[in-house]
Each structure stands twice: as structure tokens, then as C-alpha cells.
Structure 1
């Protein structure tokens, strides 16, 4: 029973109120889906690890497989999954007392599995540590609450609000719109409180039924864990009220897409923000980080926009960036410098979609910034005005993005060469699966016209 003393206080409080019945041992796969095992409490208290085949990381979003096993062939060797007790949290939507615990993946000889997303992020954070830095991030999560949709051929529609009308659209920051689906938000707050997560704020975004949740800044791995947990938490809260929560980048035609903006700052060994100098001004490191994002983000767009649907979000004048310009307090640029005190100076990457795996998204963004600092890359001149008037810098589709990713050998060394190999193979397999599906547009316009 000594493990109970190692878990966060919120989990301990939950167990004081609930008899533990089951523990969900989970690991995030490449898409960010929770894989793992549900273990009876009595067994959990006796085990130090469990096993799963490494092929869970070769699985596509459709349930297919990428041929990524390597020279040994598709023999599906077991990995050793070890719990990170700091991630223990309740699953408050269950009927019985249930904990969730994120596990780290190791080979049988004790080495971290290179293509496990959480290990990829840990690898990048370790590179910062070797340089004497501590990265700090704060993600913003956008998502839609939509009507139940059980027919893939049917268009996604906004959820029905408490007024009996579909959720109000294009009412950004409207408190009335937030109130329209207040019961779902109430459960999101309740679940988050039970799980020990602190929400910095919830706002209505520009889409019909679109919300944004902001999280407090902190350690990159911890924040990625929270986003991973939040996706499940939000989906469960929505289901309780007969609607769906979706994190698709572009779920509804003619509505804005959903992003996961990531704010970054870096601390030195003394805990000081390296983006701010002794007199409160911006440092070389600040500009180098921006330069790294501008130079390297095209090479990791495939990690920030991982599906064919992701690229529907990058539409001119539609609330998502189309280029890599940087600006001060300018939401039309891909890289934004928010208003802040010198101590809280940070850089916001606005390119990532909410459909991205949070571990891989944050790892990619941090890797680009670190490369900028290492190579002392100066950014382009600050953009003033509407960046939608500028040129497009974003790859037009997943296949082009994967070609850029495959060419970025120096980033592969930072992210892990085995990860880069597996990621490219699995994503190309998903693209091939997509090409086998005939869309309604093709049937409407090509069936009789060509």
C-alpha cells in the first residue's frame, strides 16, 4: 500500500472518498489515443510493471498498421510499461472507484522506447537540461461540442443548447454562448477539480459550439500529460449530456478550425527567464528562439498537423495562421509575442492543431526553438499589420509535410531517429488509407461530369 503515498494529493483525496476498484494503466500512442490495460485494484497493488507489444505505436488512426517494425520483422515484441506515480489521477466519470496512471515504455533491456511519444518529449526536455535550461510551456486547447454523430456520411453539426436551438456561432467571448452549454462546462470543471487539474479559464471561441480551455504554465511533460488527460475528460463530460466533444482540426465547414496554441519560455539555472535581460529588454536567445521556429517549423508541420483534415484549418482570414511571420500582440501571425511583463516574456506558436498528439506537438515546437538557440538563427523582420496579406508558408497537405519531415535529419537527431522513421511510415500508411475512401465531393462532381 506504500504506493498510495507516492501519488498526487488529489488522487489520495479521491481514494479517501472512493473504494479503489480498478486501475487503468495507460500509454499514449502516436495519435495520442490512450492504450493499455484495466487492472483490478488487488492485482495493481502487487505489480510494478506490465507488458504490451511495441506494435501499438505502429497503428494508424483507422486501426490499420504501418510497416514500421524494422529489420527484425513484425514479431511484436513486448515492451515493459512502468508507472509514473506522479500521473495518477481519478477517472471520476466511472461508476466504480478508478484511477488512471500514465506509464513509460521501455525495451526489455531497460532502454526507453524511442518512438513512444512521451519519451520523445522527455528526450527534447533532456537536451534543454544539458544546455543548462528549463523549458516552460502553457498550452491552449480549442475544441467543439457537437451533436451526436453516428453516421460518418452526415455533416457534423453544433450541439443543441439549453435554449433548444443549436449552439450559437461566431459569438467569440460571449458569456451567453458559454451559458448555453453550461451543464457540460460544469462537469468539465468538476472532473478537472477531482483530478487535480487547474483550469486558467474557459472562453467561447469563434465557431458554433467552439470552446477554449487555457492551462497554467509549467513543465512540458506535465502539461502534455494534462492535455492527454483533458481530451478524455472533456469527451466524457460531453457524452454525459448527449453530445460529442471533438478535437478535429476542422470539424465543420465554414467554421474556424481548432488549434492548440503553445506558449514557451525558458529558465536558466537560476530560474531567470532567458528571453529577458537584466534591464528588462529582449535578449539574443529570445530572437534566436523565434528564428528557430521560422526555420524549422515547416519540417515538423507533419507533427503539428498530423492528418489530411488538419490542412483544412490553414485558410486565409479564417482564424488560423498561413505563414511563419512573427509579430507583437498580433493574432494573424503564426508566431505571436503576447503582452506580458518582462519576467513572463514568452513566445506563442499558433500553428499546431488540436488534433495533434500533445507530447509530439510540444516536443516539435521546443526542438525548433532549441535549434534556433544552438545555431543563433536570427528571425525575419517583425511583421506589422495583417499577416494574411503575406505569402503562404504552410505545406498544402500531409504528403508534402511528410517529405519536409523526412529531409530534416538534424531534427531527427534531437527528436530521435527511430521515432522519425516510425512516424513517417505510420503517417504515410494513414495517407494511403485515406486515398482508398471516395468523398461526397467526388461523387457529386465527378460521377456524371467527367
Structure 2
């Protein structure tokens, strides 16, 4: 889309995202001749579940029902073991889903005028569903709010573009760009490599503008056809919603151009993995001051407590930040991904980086999460680690000046180890709630059992004729 057309689009959708209530939503939908509404609910994996309804029917009864098992589903389509989560809900009764009208936006890739809206899940007595990702993030944000603080986050999401792959037995390959050739080497920060997919990125920008999603920057990352999109900083729930919608947007735009966009942590062997780095700061609600800096502009006690809490609790929350077996293929030595909880000033080899900034922008970057993580859960987990550190008055280790890649592993090496650490951590149990921890752990174990049924090429290569 040319600059003139894009400018016209910006002007025509100045109020393109979000309304205050159902009445404003009805008018918003009528003004755009919306025919259908996609009612979305992010599940434990960050997958969009829900229903599609005619717009008129939606406003006749904007609440809807879905079975409670939706939050017990694995990425493979199975379900958690009810016995592990205290019996679960044997009747699989309905939950009440209520729309968050602030998330109302268009679905720009739909063939007919369509809107989308994210929902929250409640029990019939009005209580938020404990295992809902959005409810969990709100629970963590409320901890900060009770102290008079407002956390601020800015996610960075990496992903790969790949050729369509309909047979999972075959490895993924980079797609063909406008030159007619796929990338064969790494093209970090290359403008020409991004330009190979100009038409795709034009659609991503246009789809994003139509939904009110704000892209800060777009860059080419280290891997072949690996990209990164950075979002503007803001409130945690709003940013998690944006990541949730961005993933849908990027996948849809890629499909339009006969490509797949994948957020797998390690989709291609011998290529870097994909991360979701999370920048975090905390502001005092009354003064607006960044509490990570003191009155003299120096790092504050809260800043060091946040760092120390991140160091202490990251290993215990890894099953949330790296939620699949594949996630741990990224977190290996000399793979451009962290393997420990060391921290440093402007040091990208550490799991926790403090970017260069002035006092008001002082922040902590968590470089551990994978791009396959549920954004609601990953942001909640990352903030919870820092919050616990401030509450416990912890002190971090000394910062690392050189490379941390050669230091010892601090992080779990696999999913089952990470799940056990999550269950055994009393501090995180208090923050997340026992129901969530038990349910999430059961889902992860069920996914691992599914993985164990698959025989890998490595096993056929090295065991078939040698053992």
C-alpha cells in the first residue's frame, strides 16, 4: 500500500479500536456495516478459542457460554488429567464469557465486514475463572496496584517466515522472496533482507493499523527469514492483548502470501531460536515517577529488588516462559539465547539485561521467554518474579561484564524439570494460586506424554542400525 493510501487509511480509522460499553459498541459496528463478530477467548496456550456470531445476535445477548474444559486443553487437542487438578469439573459445566469492549476492532483480512472482541471468563457466581490467562495477568497487576504502582511493559516478538509445510516429517525451509531466491545465510538487521518481503510487511502494517495495533519497529533478526516486531510500551493487559492479536495478524498476512509465520521457539535446526523479550518498569501511580530510579536519578532499592527477584524465581517459572518441549532446544549454549539468570548493563548474553537509558526510562529486560509463550502468562510470570523480589527485599548478584554464554546453566534443561520447579515454588504458588499451578502443570505433563509417542529423525538416524 502506498504512502498516500496509508495516510488516508489512518485518517479514516482514527477511532479504529475499542469502545467503552455495549451501546457504543453497537454504534461502532453499525457505522462500519459489520456483519459478524468473532468472540475470542485466549486459552492456556494463547490460542484464540470462541465463537463467530452475527452482529445483530451478539448485541441481543453479548455474554456467551463455553465449557470449562476450554482452559484444560493441551496444544495437541487433548485435556489435562482431572485427578491431578483436584477432580476439575466432572460435569464440564459452562463458564460465562463477557466481552471487553475496549478490545473491539475490525478483522481486516476477513472477506466480509467482520469485527473481533476479546472476552473474559467468569464462574456463574461472578468470580473470575482462576485458570484464565487474562484473569491471572490481572491478578498480578493488582498486586502492584495495591502498592500504588503501575507496571509498564514492552514486548519484542521474534518469528520465522517459512515455506508452506504440510508434512511434519520434513524440515522447515525459508520462503522465496521477491528476488526469487530463499535466504541461505544469516542477514542480521539487513534492510534488503526485509525488503525481500515488502508486500507481506505492507499487509502486516495495514492490518495492524486497521486494528489499532502499534508497531514500534520491524527488523530482520539473526536467522534466515527471521523477523522481530517491537511494540510500544504500555499497560500489561493491553500489551498482552496486542501480542495475542499480532500473532493472528502475522499468520494471516503470511498465508495471504503463500507463507507460514511460525512462533515456534526453535523451528529450524542450526538457526537461532525465537524469543519474546519483555522490557519492564514500574511507575508510582500518584507521582508518575519510575520507581527504578531514586530522587538523584540513581538505581533504586526497588530496581535491585526487581532484578534479584527475577534472578531467584526465573528457574521456577520456566514452564510458563518456555512452555513446550521445543522451547528448550532454543535455550542451549552458544545459541544466542540465555542459559542462566545472570544480569548485566547492556549485556545481551545474560538472561536479564538492563538497557542503556536515562533515569525515567530505566527498565529490566527479561530475555528468557520464548516467542511460543502465551503473552498473558509470560508477562504475568515475569512481573511476578520482580514483584516478589521487591517484597522480599532481595539483593542481586554482581553484574556480568563479559559473555555469560560460557557460565553454568541456571535454567531447567527440559519441560518436566521446569514443571516440577513451578509446582515446588511456594512464592509462585501464592501469586498464581494453587488451582492455576495444578491445572497448568497437568496440561504440560499431558503435552509431554503426547510428545513421547513420536519417534524423532535423530532416533532413526543413530539408533536404527547401531544398537
TM-score, normalised to structure 2, is 0.93
Q: CA deviation at 1:21?
A: 0.8
> Aligned pair 1:171/2:187, yes or no?
yes
| Matches of 2:343 and 2:422, distance apart in 1 | 22
Task: Work out whether 1:359 is the aligned partner of 2:388.
Answer: no
* Alignment check: 8 A CA contact 1:168 1:209 kept: no
- Matching residue of 1:50: 64
Shift of 1:18: 3.9
Equivalent residues of 1:4, 1:12 under 8 A apart? no
Secondary structure in 1 matching 2:65: strand
Q: Is the aligned partner of 1:284 residue 2:307?
A: no
Other structure's SS at 1:36 match: strand
Q: SS state of the match for residue 60, structure 2?
A: coil
The whole-number CA distance in structure 2 between the counterparts of 1:264 and 1:48 is 34
CA distance in 2, matches of 1:12, 1:198: 25
Query: Quick one: which of 22, 25, 36 aligns to 2:39?
Result: 25
- Residue 92 (structure 2) aligns with: 76
Deviation at 1:409, TM superposition (A): 2.1
Q: 1:391 aligns with which of 387, 401, 408?
A: 408
In 2, Cα distance between equivalents of 1:14 and 1:334: 44
Cα shift readout 1:106-136 (whole Å, capped 9, x = no counterpart): 0011100000111010000011111211111
Gaps of 5+ in 1: none
**Out of 237, 245, 249, which is 1:221 matched to?**
237
Which stretch shows the higher mean deviation, 12-21 or 331-340? Answer: 12-21
What SS does structure 2 have at the residue aligned with 1:388?
coil
Tell me the distance in 1 between the aligned counterparts of 2:25 and 2:186: 38
Q: 1 CA distance for matches of 2:162 and 2:203?
A: 16
Asked if 2 retains the 8 angstrom alpha-carbon contact of 1:259 and 1:353, the reply is yes
Q: Distance in 1 between matches of 2:59 and 2:420?
A: 46
CA contact (8 A) 2:19 2:104 kept: no
Q: CA deviation at 1:80?
A: 0.2
Question: Which of 332, 336, 349 does residue 319 from structure 1 map onto?
Answer: 336
Deviations 1:217-258 (A, max 9, x none): 000000000000000000000000000000000000000000
Please show how residues 68-147 of structure 1 align to structure 2 within 5 Å: 68=82, 70-71=86-87, 73-147=89-163
RMSD: 1.8
In the alignment, what sits opposite 1:41? 55
Q: Deviations over 1:389-438 (max 9, x none)?
A: 21111111001111101101221111122111100001001001111111
- Cα 1:73/1:28, change in 2 over 3 Å: closer
Deviation for aligned residue 1:48: 2.8
CA distance in structure 1 between the aligned counterparts of 2:25 and 2:125, rounded to whole angstroms = 31
Q: 1:208 to 1:11 in 2, by over 3 A?
A: farther
Which residue is 2:257 aligned to? 241
Q: What CA distance in whole angstroms lies between the structure 2 residues aligned with 1:12 and 1:73?
A: 35
Indicate if the aligned counterparts of 2:19 and 2:101 stay in contact, CA closer than 8 A. Answer: no
Could you say if the C-alpha distance between residues 11 and 276 of structure 1 is closer, same or farther in structure 2, counting changes exceeding 3 Å? farther
1 CA distance for matches of 2:294 and 2:27? 43
SS at the partner of 1:203? strand
**Which of 415, 432, 435 is matched with 1:418 structurally?**
435
CA contact (8 A) 2:315 2:418 kept: yes
Deviation (angstroms), 1:4? 8.6
